[in-house]
Amino acid sequence: MNVKKEIARRRTFGIISHPDAGKTTLTEKLLLFGGAIQEAGAVKSNKIKKGATSDFMEIERQRGISVATSVLAFEYNGTKINILDTPGHKDFAEDTFRTLTAVDSVIVVIDVAKGVEEQTEKLVQVCRMRKIPMIVFVNKLDREGKDAFELLDEIEQKLSLTVTPLSFPIGMGYDFKGIYNIWEKNINLFSGDSRKNIEETIKIQDIQSADLYKLIGEKPAETLREELELVDGVYPSFDQEAYLAAEQQPVFFGSALNNFGVRELLDCFITIAPTPRPKQSEERIVHPDEKEFTGFVFKIHANMDPKHRDRLAFIKIVSGVFERNTPYLHVRNGKKLKFSSPNAFFAEKKEIVDISYPGDIVGLHDTGNFKIGDTLTEGEEIHYKGIPAFSPEHFRYINNADPMKSKQLEKGIDQLMDEGVAQLFTLELNGRKVIGTVGALQYEVIQYRLEHEYGAKCTYEPLSVHKACWVEPKDSKSEEFKEFIRVKQRFMAKDKRGHLVFLADSPFTLQMTQQKYPNVKLHFVSEYK
Ligand code: G4P
């Protein structure tokens, strides 16, 4: 077993986009190339269709599908590719943020007509903060859209990226002729015969050559030459170091639906994308090629069957190898645990695996031991950092609607919070419980799941909170801090880990508070150090 070789051939990444930009379609085409699926349509979209925001069957359907598509692994040209699924729906943004802690790079899909959209902006911002290498794929070139240069500008401005096009479209929409691949120096002609799998790729070593004009016509050839000159003059040339350091982002153009420009993307991706990267723990940086196994939980999925309340905890392997039936230390609770049936995920199925390598994801059956962010090791007491909680957008009091079932309610809330469905805050003043979520949809999910999985009933009460701010006192003994706590007593709460949180009821309150107590630092993220 050559662990170094296994690490070197792994690429673990996520595809992020605003809903409808083509993430599912692109994923499917990548799987087709890997031979992991045989036909288009095999990967079910995990998105919640528009207008279905409060449709329960839809939520349940989504939960079912998302287990199957949580990790899609396949082999392509000797490379083991792990795609981690990220829900596009904004109500599940928190899930996506957490998944981004387990990827080594991302592909950002942008719709050529819509350009940079809101959800893309948010997700890219997180990737930028975490210095995750990004490749941009501009999709739907078979449709009329924005001019390529205009779009590249928009990507630079709105996403604060430094782009370098590695391919360039020849025409667009009705006039779309194909793609010039700057990376491979060839032309890929678009036949317009959609969903066709065969591509015609023609090597063009010199774009000045007369062949170009024969291929695409005089005018388009001239335009392409001018555009490529401009690309050359305006954008920096590709620099792999800069890409890996998240300082430069290559851009590809194509049409996922037509399977066009996807192979180019994939071929370049496996060449330049990072192998599993080292990860910072609270104690030290851990490298993938270290001998001893370490990994962390980035996602927990509850079983949909209420009779079997076991859950699946998704572990990203950071270092060493993970072996079946081997005891590992669950660092938070100090227990050694053995796993007899760790799952690996392939395109359409999951399988029990004996051994997994850094970059891989294993799914472990869990009866309530794991929380998001937990670390497993061979014995070393390390804690992986970087699964922060963001301030929720919605806040409501949660009340017990069935006094006979208060234990069940408590347990249910506790476990759902461990899964990361929402955040719980307990008010300092009266111990009332407040649930904070990213989207309104989660309240229904929680209510439904409490009833169906735990036999508990809850009701909600509105609460006007603008943002949850994690409090960092510069000096907790100072008069200023004491006064802040006293004056804002009604708005102080503890999060699930016991950290102090100020629930600001309006942007105005927040601003005034920051002005009045400059030494009390307020953070919108739970891990701010
Ligand atoms: P998402 O996962 O990012 O939300 O997007 P998804 O792949 O589901 O694609 C959204 C819509 O865009 C789908 O159409 C899909 O067929 C279409 N699409 C994806 N890539 C391309 C492309 O390159 N060109 C064109 N013209 N369309 C593309 P839909 O009608 O919403 O869904 P469906 O009924 O086709 O599944």
340-395: pLDDT as tens digits = 989 887 766 778 899 999 999 999 988 888 988 899 999 999 998 767 778 888 99
The tokens for 478 are: 């100072």
Where do the CATH 3.30.70.3280 domains begin and end in the chain? 394-523
Which percentage of the chain shows pLDDT scores above 70?
A: 87
Helix, coil or strand: residue 178: strand
> Which of 87-101, 114-128, 268-282, 442-456 is least confident?
87-101
Q: Cα(177)–Cα(191) distance, rounded to whole angstroms?
A: 8
Confidence band (pLDDT; 50, 70, 90) for 301?
confident
> Where do the DSSP E strands lie in 25-113?
71-76, 79-84, 105-111
pLDDT at 181: 87
Give 46 or 442, the one with higher predicted confidence.
442
Q: Is the pLDDT of residue 135 over 90?
A: yes
Give me ligand 1 centre to Cα 215, in Å.
Answer: 29
Give me ligand 1 centre to Cα 114, in Å.
Answer: 13
Q: Cα(386)–Cα(207) distance, rounded to whole angstroms?
A: 46
Q: Cα(194)–Cα(172) distance, rounded to whole angstroms?
A: 15
**Ligand 1 pocket mutation, candidates 43, 257, 259, criterion most atoms within 8 A of CB:** 257
The two most distant CA atoms of the chain are separated, in Å, by: 83
Write 99-102 long-range contacts (CB < 8 A, 24+).
Answer: 99/14, 99/298, 99/299, 100/14, 100/16, 100/126, 100/127, 100/130, 100/132, 101/130, 101/296, 101/298, 101/316, 101/386, 101/387, 102/12, 102/296, 102/298, 102/299, 102/314, 102/316, 102/361
Confidence band (pLDDT; 50, 70, 90) for 40?
low
pLDDT at 47: 47
* 139 labeled part of a ligand binding site: yes
Confidence band (pLDDT; 50, 70, 90) for 209?
confident
Q: What is the mean pLDDT of the chain?
A: 86
pLDDT at 449: 87
Where do the CATH 3.40.50.300 domains begin and end in the chain? 3-174+236-272
pLDDT at 53: 38
Q: Is the pLDDT of residue 144 over 60?
A: yes
Task: Tell me the residue type at 450.
Answer: L
Cα 176 to chain center, whole Å?
Answer: 32
Confidence band (pLDDT; 50, 70, 90) for 198?
very low
Residue labelled with tokens 């490529």: 228
Q: Cα(377)–Cα(283) distance, rounded to whole angstroms?
A: 13
pLDDT at 52: 38
> Which of 1-10, 18-27, 54-63 is least confident?
54-63
User: Under CATH, what is the fold of the domain 394-523?
Assistant: Alpha-Beta Plaits (3.30.70)
Which percentage of the chain shows pLDDT scores above 90?
A: 56
Residue 366, judged by CB atoms within 10 A of its CB (0-12, 13-18, 19+), counts as buried
For 469, phi and psi rounded to 5 degrees? -120, 120
> Which of 196-205, 380-389, 445-454 is least confident?
196-205
Helix, coil or strand: residue 269: helix
Let me know the angle formed at the C-alpha of 446 by 445 and 449, rounded to the nearest 5 degrees: 80
Q: Is the pLDDT of residue 264 over 80?
A: yes
Beta bridge partners of 280: 285
List of residues 6+ apart from 57 with CB closer than 8 A: none
User: Under CATH, what is the fold of the domain 279-377?
Assistant: Elongation Factor Tu (Ef-tu); domain 3 (2.40.30)
Residue 281, judged by CB atoms within 10 A of its CB (0-12, 13-18, 19+), counts as buried
**Edge to edge, what strands does the sheet with 167-170 contain?**
167-170, 178-181, 186-189, 200-203
Give me ligand 1 centre to Cα 28, in Å.
Answer: 11
Instruction: List pocket residues of ligand 1, CB cut-off 6 Å.
Output: 17, 19-25, 45, 47, 88, 139-140, 142-143, 255-258
**Which range has the top average pLDDT, 72-86, 103-117, 198-212, 486-500?**
103-117
Closest residue by CA, ligand 1 atom 21: 257
pLDDT at 227: 93
Cα Rg, the chain, nearest whole Å? 25
Closest residue by CA, ligand 1 atom 32: 20
Give 251 or 44, the one with higher predicted confidence.
251
pLDDT at 48: 41
CA-wise closest residue to 267 among 71, 100, 70, 34: 34
Q: Is the pLDDT of residue 304 over 80?
A: no
Over residues 400-413, the mean pLDDT reads 93
Give me ligand 1 centre to Cα 142, in Å.
Answer: 12
Confidence band (pLDDT; 50, 70, 90) for 176?
confident
Do 467 and 504 form a contact (C-beta atoms < 8 A)?
yes
CATH for 3-174+236-272 is 3.40.50.300
Q: Cα(440)–Cα(50) distance, rounded to whole angstroms?
A: 15
